[in-house]
C-alpha cells in the first residue's frame, strides 16, 4: 500500500510510538538497619556463579581481622542464583542479623542477586547489601527500582572476579568501590547500619515513557533521527510507522488493535512490560514487513520470549516456521534459507528483534543489554522455514504434536555455538559427529540443521528411518567423561548447583566416576531440522534450547 502521507519530500509526518507499557511499580519498605555490627551474625550468601564464594571469603577474612566480634557464615543458595531460596531466607531470619549477597557479575546473576537482597529486606526484615561488579551498575539500579526499593544498598567491586587470586580479591575488598570511589567495606558496613535515604514517588516509579499513541510530527529525516536517538532501532534505517502503514499492517489479522498480545522483559527480575496488537504492528512496519507476515510476527510476540535478551553470553534466537503459511507468504526453506535474499524471512526476523527491543523496555548496552561479545544473529535472529517437502522425516511441528496442515513457529534460544561439516564419511562418520557434539555448549542442546542431502545420508549411513531414532542416537553419542563435564565453567554455573539440589537426572550424573562417560544433554531438548537447497550436503549443529512452539493460525 502506498502511503500518500510520505509522498512529498520534506513533508511533516505523524508516526506512532513503538514502545511498550511498563509494569506498575509498588514501593516496598526496607528492613530497619542495625545500630551496630558488634556481636552480630552476618550471613554471606553465595550466588554460586563463577568464583563468587572466593570474594565472599575475603569479606569474611576482613571481618575476622578488623571486627572479630562479628560472626560471619558463608552459605550457598540451594540451586542456581535464578531460583528463590525461602528455606535459606528463613534460616537467616532465625539465626542471623544481616546478610551480604553476592556476587552479581553477569547479566542474569546481577539482577538475581539484587532481587534476593530486596526479598530479604522486604519479606524477611533482614538488612542486606548486594555486592556486584562495576559492569552492572546501571542494570542493578534499574532492577531494584523496578522491584520498588530504589534505595537498596548496592556495593561494587572491579570486574572480573572469576579466576582472580586471593591477593587480588583481597585488594578488591580493601580497595575502593569503582562506581563511587568510597571504600568497599565502609559501604558494606554503612549499608547494614546507616539509615536508608527517603525516596520520592518519582524515584520509586516505573521508567517514564510517553503514553501518547502518536509522536510529535516531524520530517522523514528528523523522525529517523528521533528513533535512532531513542534507541528504537537496530541502528539501521527503519520504515516510519505512519497511521496508514500501521492500519495496513493491522489488516493482516482479525485481532483488535487494543488487544494485549503478551509481556516481555530483557532479563528475569527486570519487570514484565506489556504490549498490544497495534504496538506489535508498529514494530512490524518499522522492520519493513508485509501485512500477510503479521500473523507470524504476532505469534512470536505472544511467546513472551525476547529476541534481545540481556545475557552476557550474547545469546540469540532461532525461529523455525512450519506448515502451509510458509508458501502462502513466500518464505525461503531452500537455497540460502538462513541467509539474506528473502523478504519474508528477513523482515519477520527483524520485526521480532525490534519488537523485543522496544516492547520490553529497551535493549541498550550497559543498561538492558549486556552481551559481552554481542552477536550478529541478534539483528534479525535466525529466521527461516523448514523444507518439509524435501525432508525424509516428519516436520518439526508434527514432532511437537501439531497437525501437518497447521502453521506454527518454534523458538529456540542460544545460538552461541555452531559446528559445521560436509556430509557423512563412510568409515568414521560417528566419530566425526561426536566431535561436533562435544563442541556444542553443554548448557543448551544440539539442533542439527541438515541440508536434505545430509538428512538422507543419516538414513543411508545410520539407518535412521525415523527422526526419533536419530535423536536417540545423538543423545547416546553426546557423552563425555564426568570429570571433564563437571569442570566446564558453564556447567559449574548453571548445571552443578541444580545437581547438588537433587534435580534428576543431574544428581545421579554427579555421582558418576571421573572417567565414566555421562550424557551432556537432555533427550527432550535435542532437535533435527531439515532446510536447504541441496547445492551440497553441508550441515550444522547449533547449541540452542527450545523455548516453545506457537500456533500461527490463532493470530490470522
C-alpha cell at 369: 543489554
In three state form, how does the secondary structure of 250-285 look? HCCCCCCCCCEEEEECCCCCCCCEEEEHHHHHHHHH
Count CB atoms within 10 A of the CB of residue 12. 13
Do the Cβ atoms of 131 and 159 come closer than 8 Å?
A: no
207, pLDDT greater than 80: no
User: What DSSP designation does 42 have?
Assistant: E
Helices (H) and strands (E) in the chain, counts: 21, 15
The CB-based long-range contact list for 476-479 (8 Å cut-off, 24+ gap) reads 476/519, 477/430, 477/433, 477/434, 477/437, 478/434, 478/437, 478/438, 478/440, 478/446, 478/519, 478/520, 478/521, 478/526, 479/517, 479/518, 479/519, 479/520
183, with CB counted inside 10 A (0-12, 13-18, 19+), is middle
* Domains identified in the chain and CATH numbers: 41-204 (3.40.50.2300), 220-417+546-555 (no CATH)
What's the pLDDT tens digit per position in 335-345? 999 999 999 99
With 90 as the cut, is the pLDDT of residue 6 above it?
Answer: no
CA dist 315 and 313 (Å) reads: 6
Average pLDDT, the chain: 94
Measured CA to CA, the distance from residue 413 to residue 416 in angstroms comes to 9
Q: Provide the pLDDT for residue 387.
A: 98
| Phi, psi of 246, deg, nearest 5 | -65, -40
Residue 7 has pLDDT above 80, yes or no: no
| CA angle (73, 79, 83) in 5-degree steps | 105
Q: Contact at 8 Å (CB) between 254 and 219?
A: no
**pLDDT given for residue 521 in this prediction:** 95
Residue 199 is predicted with a pLDDT of: 81
Which burial class, exposed, middle or buried, applies to 372 when counting CB atoms under 10 A from its CB (0-12, 13-18, 19+)? exposed
Q: What is the pLDDT of residues 62-81, one digit of tens each?
A: 999 999 999 999 999 988 88
Classify the C-alpha dihedral 500-501-506-508 as positive or negative: positive
131: region left, alpha or beta (phi > 0 left; psi from -120 to 50 alpha) = beta
Q: What is the DSSP letter of 414?
A: E
pLDDT in tens, 82-129: 899 999 999 999 999 999 998 999 988 999 999 999 999 999 999 999
Cα 448 from Cα 521, distance rounded (Å): 14
The C-alpha cell of 532 is what? 536447504
Task: Provide the H-helix boundaries in 147-206.
Answer: 166-174, 184-193, 201-204
Provide, rounded to the nearest whole percent, the portion of the chain with pLDDT above 90. Answer: 85
Closest to 369 in 3D by CA, of 142, 83, 84? 142
pLDDT in tens, 361-420: 998 888 888 888 888 888 889 999 999 999 999 999 999 999 999 999 999 999 999 999
- Confidence check: pLDDT of 213 > 90: yes
Amino acid at each position: 500500500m502506498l502511503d500518500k502521507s510520505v509522498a512529498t519530500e520534506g513533508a511533516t509526518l505523524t508516526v506512532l510510538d513503538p514502545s511498550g507499557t511498563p509494569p506498575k511499580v509498588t514501593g516496598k519498605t526496607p528492613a530497619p538497619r542495625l545500630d551496630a555490627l558488634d556481636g552480630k551474625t552476618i550471613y554471606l550468601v553465595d550466588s554460586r556463579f563463577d568464583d563468587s564464594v572466593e570474594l565472599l571469603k575475603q569479606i569474611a577474612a576482613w571481618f575476622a581481622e578488623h571486627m572479630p566480634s562479628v560472626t560471619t557464615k558463608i552459605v550457598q543458595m540451594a540451586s542456581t542464583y535464578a531460583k528463590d531460596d525461602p528455606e535459606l531466607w528463613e534460616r537467616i531470619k532465625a539465626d542471623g542479623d544481616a546478610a551480604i549477597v553476592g556476587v552479581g557479575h553477569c547479566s542474569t546473576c546481577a539482577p538475581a542477586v539484587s532481587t534476593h537482597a530486596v526479598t530479604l529486606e522486604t519479606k524477611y526484615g533482614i538488612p542486606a547489601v548486594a555486592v556486584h561488579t562495576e559492569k552492572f551498575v546501571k542494570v542493578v539500579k534499574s532492577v531494584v527500582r523496578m522491584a520498588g526499593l530504589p534505595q537498596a544498598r548496592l556495593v561494587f567491586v572491579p570486574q572480573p572476579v572469576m579466576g582472580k587470586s586471593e591477593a587480588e580479591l583481597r585488594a578488591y575488598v580493601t580497595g575502593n568501590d569503582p562506581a563511587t570511589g568510597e571504600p568497599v567495606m565502609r559501604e558494606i558496613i554503612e549499608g547494614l547500619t546507616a539509615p536508608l535515604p527517603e525516596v520520592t514517588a518519582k524515584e520509586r516509579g516505573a521508567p517514564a515513557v510517553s503514553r501518547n499513541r502518536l509522536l510529535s510530527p516531524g520530517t522523514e529525516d528528523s523522525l529517523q533521527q528521533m528513533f535512532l536517538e531513542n534507541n528504537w532501532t537496530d541502528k539501521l534505517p527503519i520504515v516510519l510507522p505512519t497511521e496508514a502503514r500501521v492500519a495496513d499492517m493491522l489488516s493482516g489479522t482479525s485481532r483488535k488493535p487494543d488487544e494485549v498480545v503478551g509481556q516481555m522483559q530483557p532479563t528475569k527480575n527486570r519487570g514484565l512490560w506489556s504490549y498490544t496488537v497495534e504496538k506489535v504492528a508498529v514494530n512490524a512496519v518499522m522492520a519493513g514487513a508485509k501485512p500477510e507476515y503479521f500473523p507470524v510476527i504476532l505469534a512470536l510476540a505472544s511467546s513472551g520470549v525476547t529476541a534481545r535478551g540481556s545475557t552476557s553470553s550474547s545469546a540469540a534466537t532461532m525461529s523455525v516456521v512450519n506448515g502451509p503459511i510458509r508458501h502462502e507468504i513466500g518464505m525461503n526453506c531452500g537455497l540460502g534459507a538462513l541467509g539474506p535474499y528473502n523478504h519474508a524471512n528477513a523482515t519477520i526476523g527483524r520485526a521480532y528483534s525490534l519488537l523485543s527491543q522496544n516492547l520490553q523496555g529497551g535493549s541498550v548496552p550497559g543498561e538492558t543489554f549486556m552481551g559481552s561479545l554481542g552477536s550478529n544473529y541478534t539483528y534479525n535472529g535466525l529466521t527461516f522455514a523448514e523444507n518439509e517437502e524435501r525432508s525424509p522425516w516428519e516436520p518439526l511441528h508434527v514432532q511437537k504434536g501439531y497437525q501437518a496442515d497447521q502453521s506454527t513457529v518454534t523458538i529456540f534460544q542460544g545460538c552461541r555455538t555452531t559446528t559445521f561439516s560436509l556430509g557423512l564419511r563412510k568409515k568414521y562418520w560417528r566419530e566425526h559427529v561426536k566431535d561436533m557434539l562435544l563442541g556444542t555448549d553443554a548448557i543448551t542442546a544440539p539442533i542439527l540443521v541438515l541440508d536434505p542431502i545430509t538428512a538422507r545420508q543419516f538414513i543411508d549411513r545410520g539407518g535412521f528411518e525415523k527422526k526419533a531414532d536419530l535423536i536417540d542416537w545423538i543423545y547416546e553419542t553426546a557423552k563425555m567423561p564426568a570429570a571433564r563435564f563437571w569442570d566446564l565453567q558453564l556447567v559449574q554455573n548453571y548445571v552443578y548447583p541444580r545437581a547438588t539440589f537433587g534435580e534428576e537426572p543431574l544428581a545421579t550424573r554427579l555421582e558418576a566416576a571421573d572417567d565414566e562417560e555421562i550424557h551432556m544433554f537432555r533427550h527432550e531438548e535435542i532437535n533435527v531440522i531439515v532446510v536447504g537447497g541441496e547445492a551440497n550436503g553441508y550441515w550444522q549443529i547449533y547449541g540452542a534450547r527450545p523455548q516453545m512452539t506457537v500456533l500461527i493460525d490463532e493470530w490470522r
